[in-house]
A and B are shown apart, each in its own frame.
Chain A
Amino acid sequence: MFAVRKSDLTPAQRAHTRRILWLLLAYAIILPPLVWIRANTAVAALMAIAASLPVLGIFASWGRHVSDERDEYHQTMALRRIAVATNATMGAAVVWGFLQGFGAMPLVEAYWIPCIWVLMQGMFACIGAFSRRGAE
């Protein structure tokens, strides 16, 4: 199975990965009880915002990662991944929006857009790691 060696990560990458794991854990803990009590409370909007906070944290962590990264190659790669993921996600959202508007596709909740963006980041990280292994 593929494994990332600790020495392969820059300090900024290590800090970013640690932040993301904590935020994903917070998301996994916060979301289920909020969904469960959603129908029985008047503070649904506040709960919805609380559920979105870890995902907002993930975006903030990406920004901080790019800012903290001192290795120019990794910084360039991170910016490139962000640009590709953003363009691909926005493109998919626009196409889906029109398909939905013309009745060709069902309604998809808007929060899937950032989820796809985050999944793309993970996918690019795996592709990058595998291609580096292949090149060495």
Chain B
Amino acid sequence: MENRLRLLRAERNWSQQDLAERLDVSRQSVNAIETGKYDPSLPLAFRIAELFDLAIEEVFESPSRRSSKAI
């Protein structure tokens, strides 16, 4: 799932470790989510969106909307 996590983190000058500590997850989790290797659970996705004071869809791109755009 595509997301804007790296961009949002960079805007705040946070390292992956900084973000991981704020979310109470491992740095590897942040890396895996940023690179699209792992899709977070709904509770973690909400925590991420709330941390940046955004709605979930402003952080994560819906895979179904993405595929319909491609068509």
Which residues in A have some Cβ–Cβ distance to B below 8 Å?
A: 7-8, 10, 71-74, 76, 132, 135-136
Q: Are B27 and A72 in contact (CB under 8 A)?
A: no
Interface size of B by CB at 8 A reads: 14
Cβ 8 A contact of B31, one of A72, A74, A76, A132: A132
Across-interface contacts of A76 in B (CB, < 8 A): 38
Pull 23 A–B residue pairs with CB atoms less than 8 Å apart, ordered by A.
Answer: A7-B27, A8-B27, A8-B28, A10-B26, A71-B26, A71-B29, A72-B25, A72-B29, A72-B40, A72-B41, A73-B26, A73-B28, A73-B29, A73-B32, A73-B33, A73-B40, A74-B29, A132-B28, A132-B31, A135-B31, A135-B35, A135-B37, A136-B31
List B7-29 residues whose CB lies under 8 Å from chain A: 25-29
Across-interface contacts of B54 in A (CB, < 8 A): none
